[in-house]
């Protein structure tokens, strides 16, 4: 089990846990193995060249007794740009808060200097890593400048999958006339794309059909878009175009991922399934914005890969343990049925299924041979001691304080004194 870390020797704040191991073994650990997170006692995990592999001789051996090894958490949807706007405007209608042109969010960001924004974004990345997140899909709403500075300022930012979008949004008249982007706009977008791993668009109500088609043609990586987030947005789409947001997105963007689906109808869900489009849910965000609870059960039952995201940092801590706990409890409670969703299903949305939803299936999201060694080590004592259902205990009891170590690509990004090195 070996990792080949970067030669970068800097240790910025939040990176004190980084180590230069060339090989690693975690011995005698309780393991949640494979895509189905099967519990295995007294397991040994080997890492070779940053991937899960056969255990052998190692430069570093971790004593796994009293620890639980599980896949790193996949935060399928965040807006890192919101980091300096915590709890701005809570209680206002969604459009007033986050509309990409007129929302309070945009005005708030314009009033904050780049240095303060960069510091807040960096702190949020540190928070995610310490909370066991090894992949976070970031919808970025502006140019690459601040993202490039973030990537160069902290190695922890490698957990980010950054998505961009064109700078121009369309009003109703432009959508009805089906206006395309000007050549200059698309040239600028194409130039920005080299700094990103794909595109993450606002809702279809901000784009013409031809504009979405232009974006689709330009992007070789992940294509994602918000869809059916609010009842108001769903009605606006029907009023303007006679189609649902999901219908328009799939027809003209050909997305890999739809985010929210809170107000998606049955036909929308079946269409996403037929077109093999994944879905990422953000239940805590939907709740604080007054948008209801997404149709998680219906999506999973249609065989759609489903993930979880924490969404806007304006309103939510980027904490996947909170997201899992809330999702499980609200689905069971609102249905009046404690069997509405299983704890394993929720945990998979934050790990193995979430990785598939983010286009990383077969590479991340599971502790299995050949997968990237993205692993978190949880303290099996305290809150998790005495469990009779390890999946339920992680979903409903674990917190970021239980994360003893975060490993990405075979390398510790975060470790506490609960990690005991035997060699």
More confident residue, 192 or 5: 192
Distance, in Å, from the CA atom of 80 to the CA atom of 234, rounded to the nearest integer, reads 25
Q: Residue 105 has which token pair?
A: 């969010």
- CATH architecture classification, 73-357: Alpha-Beta Barrel (3.20)
CA dihedral 243, 162, 143, 261 (to 10 degrees): 20
Residue 354 predicted with pLDDT over 90 = yes
Decide: residue 152, CB within 10 A, 0-12 exposed, 13-18 middle, 19+ buried.
exposed
Q: Per-residue pLDDT averaged across 178-183, rounded?
A: 97
How high does pLDDT run on average in the chain?
93
162 has which bridge partners? 138
Determine if residue 365 is left, alpha or beta; phi over 0 gives left, psi from -120 to 50 gives alpha, anything else beta.
left
Interval 237-292: pLDDT, tens: 999 999 999 999 999 999 999 999 999 999 999 999 999 999 999 999 999 999 99
Instruction: Tell whether the model's pLDDT for residue 10 goes beyond 50.
Output: no
Query: 10 Å Cβ neighbour count for 217?
Result: 10
Number of CB atoms found within 10 A of residue 122's CB:
21
More confidently predicted of 325 and 155: 325
- In the block, tokens 């239940």 appear at 283
Q: What is the 3-state secondary structure (H, E, C) of 53-65?
A: ECCCCCCEEEECC
Task: Write a three-state SS string for 332-374.
Answer: HHHHCCCCCCCHHHHHHHCCHHHHHHCCCCCCCCCCCCCCECC
pLDDT value, residue 90 = 94
Two structure tokens written together for 50: 């940053």
Distance CA 299, CA 270 (A): 8
219 pLDDT higher than 50? yes
The packing angle between helices 209-218 and 183-193, to 10°, is 40
Structure token pair of residue 195: 């700094």
**Helix/strand number for the chain, H first, E second:** 16, 18
Phi-psi region of 327 (alpha: psi -120 to 50; beta: other; left: phi over 0): alpha
Residue range 13-42, pLDDT digits in tens = 455 444 444 589 999 999 999 999 999 999
Mean pLDDT of 51-65: 87
The residue-averaged pLDDT of 66-80 equals: 98
What pLDDT sits at residue 58?
81
From the CB of residue 196, how many other CB atoms can be counted at a distance below 10 Å?
A: 21
Tell me the fold of 24-72+365-421: Urease, subunit C; domain 1 (2.30.40)
Give the whole-angstrom CA distance, residue 351 versus residue 135.
10
The answer to whether 376 and 365 have CB atoms below 8 angstroms apart is no
Sorting pLDDT into bands at 50, 70 and 90, what band is 233?
very high
Bridge partners of 68, per DSSP, are 30, 378
**Six token digits for residue 340:** 């509405």
Distance CA 109, CA 389 (A): 44
CA-to-CA separations, 146 to 107, 114, 301, in angstroms, rounded: 17, 8, 40
Mean pLDDT of 147-163: 95
pLDDT at 345 over 60: yes
- Please report which confidence band the pLDDT of residue 311 belongs to, taking 50, 70 and 90 as the band edges: very high
pLDDT of residue 7: 30
Instruction: State the Cα–Cα distance between residues 27 and 54, nearest whole angstrom.
Output: 12
pLDDT of residue 267: 98
Domain ranges of the chain: 24-72+365-421, 73-357
Determine whether 10 is exposed, middle or buried from the number of CB atoms within 10 Å of its CB (0-12, 13-18, 19+): exposed
The dihedrals phi and psi of 79, each to the nearest 5 degrees, come to -120, 95
pTM higher than 0.85 for the full model? yes
pLDDT at 55: 66
Residue 177, classified by CB atoms within 10 Å of its CB into exposed (0-12), middle (13-18) or buried (19+), is exposed
Tens-digit pLDDT profile for residues 40-50: 999 999 998 89
pLDDT per position as a tens digit, 368-416: 999 999 999 999 999 999 999 999 999 999 999 999 999 999 999 999 9
The answer to which of 105-114, 355-364, 376-385 has the lowest mean pLDDT is 105-114
- CA-wise closest residue to 52 among 20, 19, 26: 26
Alpha-carbon 95 to chain mean position: 23
More confident residue, 98 or 256: 256
Q: Is the pLDDT of residue 57 over 80?
A: no
Residue 174 has pLDDT above 60, yes or no: yes
Q: How confident is the model at residue 423 (pLDDT cuts 50, 70, 90)?
A: confident
| Nearest of 115, 99, 336, 353 to residue 233 by alpha carbon | 99
The DSSP letter of residue 165 is: -
Q: How confident is the model at residue 95 (pLDDT cuts 50, 70, 90)?
A: confident
Separation of alpha carbons 371 and 257, rounded Å: 22
Q: What is the band of 1 on the pLDDT scale with cuts at 50, 70, 90?
A: very low
Rounded distance, CA 380 to CA 284, Å?
A: 27
Q: Which pLDDT score, from 0 to 100, does residue 16 have?
A: 47
CB neighbours of residue 96 within 10 Å:
12
Q: Report the pLDDT value the prediction gives residue 22, as an integer from 0 to 100.
A: 55
Q: Residues in the chain, how many?
A: 423
């Amino acid at each position: 089990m070996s990792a080949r870390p970067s030669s970068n020797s800097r240790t910025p704040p939040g990176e004190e846990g980084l180590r230069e191991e060339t090989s690693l073994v975690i011995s005698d650990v309780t393991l949640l193995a494979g895509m189905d997170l099967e519990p295995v006692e007294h397991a040994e995990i080997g890492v070779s060249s940053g991937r899960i592999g056969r255990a052998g001789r190692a430069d570093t051996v971790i004593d796994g007794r009293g620890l639980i090894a599980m896949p790193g958490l996949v935060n399928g949807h965040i807006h890192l740009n919101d980091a300096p706007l915590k709890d701005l405007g809570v209680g206002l209608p969604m459009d007033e808060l986050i509309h990409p042109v007129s929302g309070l969010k945009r005005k708030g960001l314009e009033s904050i200097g780049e240095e303060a924004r960069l510091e807040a974004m960096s702190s949020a990345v540190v928070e995610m890593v310490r909370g066991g997140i090894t992949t976070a899909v970031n919808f970025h709403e502006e140019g690459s400048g601040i993202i490039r500075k973030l990537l160069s300022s902290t190695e922890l930012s490698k957990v980010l999958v950054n998505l961009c979008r064109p700078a121009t949004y369309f009003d109703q008249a432009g959508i009805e006339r089906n206006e395309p982007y000007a050549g200059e706009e698309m040239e600028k977008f194409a130039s920005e794309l080299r700094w990103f791993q794909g595109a993450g668009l606002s809702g279809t109500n901000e784009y013409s059909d031809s504009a979405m088609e232009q974006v689709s043609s330009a992007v070789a990586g992940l294509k994602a878009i918000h869809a059916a987030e609010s009842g108001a947005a769903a009605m606006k789409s029907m009023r303007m175009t006679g189609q649902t947001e999901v219908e328009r997105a799939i027809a003209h963007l050909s997305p890999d991922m739809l985010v929210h689906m809170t107000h998606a109808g049955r036909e929308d869900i079946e269409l996403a399934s037929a077109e093999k489009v994944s879905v990422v849910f953000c239940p805590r965000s939907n709740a604080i914005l007054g948008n209801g609870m997404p149709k998680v059960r219906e999506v999973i039952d249609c065989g759609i890969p489903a993930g979880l995201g924490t969404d806007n940092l304006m309103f939510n801590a980027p904490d996947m343990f909170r997201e899992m706990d809330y999702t499980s409890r609200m689905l069971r409670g609102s249905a009046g049925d404690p069997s509405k969703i299983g704890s394993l299903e929720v945990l998979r949305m934050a790990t193995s299924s979430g990785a598939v939803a983010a286009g990383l299936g077969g590479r991340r999201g599971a502790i299995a041979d050949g997968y990237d060694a993205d692993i978190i080590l949880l303290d099996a004592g305290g809150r998790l001691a005495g469990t009779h259902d390890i999946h339920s205990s992680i979903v409903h009891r674990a917190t970021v304080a239980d994360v003893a170590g975060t490993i990405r690509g075979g390398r510790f990004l975060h470790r506490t004194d609960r990690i005991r090195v035997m060699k």
